[in-house]
Structure 1
Amino acid sequence: MATLPPAHQPPGPRGHGREIHTLDEFDEAVARPGSLAGHRVQSVDLTDRTFALLSAVSTEAVFLGCPMQPEAAAKVRADGALVFPPVPDLPFDPYRAALYSPGELFDGVTDSGYEATPDALAHAWFGRTRADGDIFASMLRSIHDDAVSDALDELLDGARVVGVMGGHAMGRGTDAYAGATRLGRSLARAGLTVATGGGPGAMEAANLGAYLAPLPDEALAEALTLLADVPSFEPSVTDWARAAFAVRARLPHGGDSVGIPTWFYGHEPPNAFASRIGKYFANATREDGLLARCTAGVVFLPGAAGTVQEIFDNATPNYYGSRGDPAPMVLVDRAHWTERLPAWPLLEALAGDRPMAARIELVDSIDEAPDALARLTKG
């Protein structure tokens, strides 16, 4: 099954060896000839590295949100470095070097409830600033989202990523939820990295399935039983999240997957089963980036407006070939996609005789999706 690299990893080809994300990487860099010249130091606390900064060469370096002593900041600026200081009183780090973890976003949910968590506080800040026209707040949101995109690119570089899209209304304890969990588990066991919109319902189920992939099959029934007592995040996100963390505590050492949610839909919290979370303020950036990273295809479970939008957001680059060869698209539930929300006939008509026609398939049940995806990939 697919295993993601550590959350903090040495800068790879995308950063051309110049990005520094940890104190260990900083210490290694200052020990080399040329020192910090041309490097990008991202969200590393350098308060205790004053001597190193005073001694280092920092020509054309960039420091993004790195706390440092005033004399150290003056020295690197005198060398010609750009220094973007930390921003006080924010519930998030706009310069962050890594994706979020569930524990980070839900910190405090057990003792104080969801409203006290970093996730809820970031959404509250977004609600206060999104409509006030303040260019500073807008800039901070953009910097944050770009940092998240950079971290996603580094994490998923070379990975075979398959997306699972579906609505947030799918309740725990239902057959549909159990099926989506089996789907995520099957895809992860096939060596694919599962990526979802990172929210509740079908998204949580697919991330849960990937989490369960390395565990014995009996873990699936145990997890579903534990979660069924709190079927939805409404009316209480706190109870919903606590149930998820109880499963994680009961079944530790689960597998990896990625969730890519947004604060734009504030009523929809992230789920706790994606091992890495790339959460965005800008939903358009999040939607396009999620689908663009699903290089091994996308499975679309029954959903409403959001899922319909994702189907055709994904179909457009497949139609024009703007991302290269069309990526597989599997729609699950014939009645849903031909009768209730007839997206399939339109998708099929759009495909016509284009190359994407060989990369789309409609299946009746969720358990057929992995085989359909494999067929489209080989074809």
Structure 2
Amino acid sequence: MAHTPRHGHDREIETLQEFDEVAARGSLVGYRLQAVDLAERTGALLALPVTGAVFLGCRMAPEAAAKARAEGALVFPPLPDLPFDPYRGLLYSPDELFAGLAEQGYAGTPDALAYAWFQRTKADGDIFGSMLRAVHDDAVSDALDEHLAGARVVGVMGGHAMARGTDAYTGAARLGRGLARAGLTVATGGGPGAMEAANLGAYAAPYDDAMLEEALLLLGKEPSFVPSVGAWARAAFDVRSRWPGGGDSVGIPTWFYGHEPPNTFASHIAKYFANATREDGLLARCNAGVVFLPGAAGTVQEVFDNATPNYYESRGEPTPMVLVDRHHWTEHLPAWPLLRSLAAGRSMESRIALVDDVAEVPEALRRLAGR
């Protein structure tokens, strides 16, 4: 009898290499294949049993697709007219989202084209478009879970307006570097400003300290994505080219805020159409704590989005929360007094901290986690 794989990631095929490994075992029964180009694997598809398999956006020869359907497999064909793949099995990379930047400018990149499609379709009432967005976001969540399995993830939240070349940006970058060097996976909202700085720091972690200081000077020549996303992104790619193979981190941006481009220093990018899914997913995956740098409405929302599950945590294991910049969080946007009032008498009370400077964050996280 053909082996039917267990429910879970061991039945997912997301690359051609994985396909070849499974095919060598003699059966595709029950597998889920996501966005794999199988045009050159017709012989294997015609020879292997595929009962119960699901082919999601896989390029296949007509005879292979017909045979799969005849055996009871589900075949969802690719949708070539879309600027994104709703069935993708892997996270995005900066190179993928910014492909064509040098030749066509930012407007011609997959990232910009996906945002333009979203703008055209988000309110047209077409259930097909909303289904494609939902399928895409679920596939991205699945890929993100696979990528972060077993990782200790610390989130760094903060405003998009933090400009390159500022002391605040430098501090956020050094924070990201320190967290990455401590063995943590840095996760951000994936955009510009404080988010980019933290991802940059994680990228710089394998290099000596001088690399980050030089990179900061180079980036400071293009301080903002306004007025030119292209110039802003090219400056980042120049840094990546000069220092290739930097450290890993995760960015989780959204096309809901598509006027803000994703930053190029997150090695793995989980980009969503639905901002609510993105926000909840980002915070829920930060199992080693969340750091809140100064920000405006979006960052304040994230503070209390994270506080809510901590407030109702029944096992006594709320996620550590560190707010940075006493004046910002007590005077300018006084979220800290409310957060402290919420925490009073609950298990989360010992898991929140307010610090003056990013240099205090690593020790605060260790203390809150009891390490």
Number of matched pairs: 367
Q: What CA distance in whole angstroms lies between the structure 2 residues aligned with 1:266 and 1:152?
A: 20
What code does the residue aligned with 1:49 have? R
Residue 264 (structure 2) aligned to one of 258, 264, 272: 272
Q: 1:151 — aligned with what?
A: 143
Residue 25 (structure 1) aligned to one of 14, 18, 29: 18
CA contact (8 A) 2:56 2:76 kept: yes
Residues 156 and 228 (structure 1), Cα distance of their counterparts in 2 relative to 1, 3 Å cut: same
Q: What CA distance in whole angstroms lies between the structure 1 residues aligned with 2:363 and 2:116?
A: 43
Bigger shift: residues 107-116 or 213-222: 107-116
Q: 1:305 — aligned with what?
A: 297
1:14 deviates by 7.8
What code does the residue aligned with 1:20 have? I
Q: 1:137 — aligned with what?
A: 129
- 1:196 equivalent to 2:184? Answer no
Residue 328 (structure 1) aligned to one of 320, 333, 336: 320
Bigger shift: residues 101-110 or 165-174: 101-110
1:49 deviates by 1.3
Q: 1:351 — aligned with what?
A: 343
Residue 92 (structure 2) aligned to one of 100, 120, 143: 100
CA contact (8 A) 2:256 2:275 kept: yes
Q: What CA distance in whole angstroms lies between the structure 2 residues aligned with 1:13 and 1:176?
A: 49
CA contact (8 A) 1:300 1:311 kept: yes
Q: 2:42 — aligned with what?
A: 50
Q: What CA distance in whole angstroms lies between the structure 2 residues aligned with 1:42 and 1:116?
A: 26
Q: What CA distance in whole angstroms lies between the structure 2 residues aligned with 1:242 and 1:204?
A: 14
Q: 1:72 — aligned with what?
A: 64
Unaligned runs of 5+ in 1: 1-11
What code does the residue aligned with 2:219 have? L
1:16 deviates by 4.3
Structure 1 residues 146-295: aligned runs within 5 Å: 146-295=138-287
TM-score in terms of structure 1 length = 0.95
Residues 14 and 222 (structure 1), Cα distance of their counterparts in 2 relative to 1, 3 Å cut: farther
Q: What CA distance in whole angstroms lies between the structure 2 residues aligned with 1:317 and 1:183?
A: 25
CA contact (8 A) 1:43 1:66 kept: yes
- 1:109 equivalent to 2:101? Answer yes
Q: 2:8 — aligned with what?
A: 15
CA deviations 1:11-66 (Å, max 9, x no partner) are: x9983411111112112222214x00000011111111111111110111000000
1:85 deviates by 0.7
Bigger shift: residues 107-116 or 240-249: 107-116
Q: What CA distance in whole angstroms lies between the structure 1 residues aligned with 2:131 and 2:70?
A: 26
Q: What CA distance in whole angstroms lies between the structure 1 residues aligned with 2:185 and 2:152?
A: 6
Q: 1:6 — aligned with what?
A: none
CA contact (8 A) 2:316 2:348 kept: no
Residues 365 and 102 (structure 1), Cα distance of their counterparts in 2 relative to 1, 3 Å cut: same
Q: What CA distance in whole angstroms lies between the structure 1 residues aligned with 2:302 and 2:7?
A: 27
1:111 deviates by 2.3
Q: What's the secondary structure of 2:55's corresponding residue? A: strand
CA deviations 1:114-163 (Å, max 9, x no partner) are: 11100000000000000001000000000100000000000001100000
What code does the residue aligned with 1:215 have? Y
CA contact (8 A) 1:317 1:323 kept: no
Q: What's the secondary structure of 2:155's corresponding residue? A: strand
What code does the residue aligned with 1:107 have? A
CA contact (8 A) 2:340 2:349 kept: yes
1:323 deviates by 8.3
TM-score in terms of structure 2 length = 0.97
Q: How big is the alpha-carbon RMSD for the aligned residues of Structure 1 and Structure 2?
A: 1.4
Q: What CA distance in whole angstroms lies between the structure 1 residues aligned with 2:354 and 2:225?
A: 30
What code does the residue aligned with 2:200 have? L
Q: What CA distance in whole angstroms lies between the structure 1 residues aligned with 2:188 and 2:106?
A: 22
Q: What's the secondary structure of 1:330's corresponding residue? A: strand
1:374 deviates by 1.1
1:357 deviates by 0.2
Residue 87 (structure 1) aligned to one of 79, 91, 110: 79
Q: What CA distance in whole angstroms lies between the structure 2 residues aligned with 1:221 and 1:186?
A: 14
CA contact (8 A) 2:14 2:89 kept: yes
CA contact (8 A) 2:59 2:78 kept: yes
1:282 deviates by 0.2
Residues 16 and 115 (structure 1), Cα distance of their counterparts in 2 relative to 1, 3 Å cut: closer
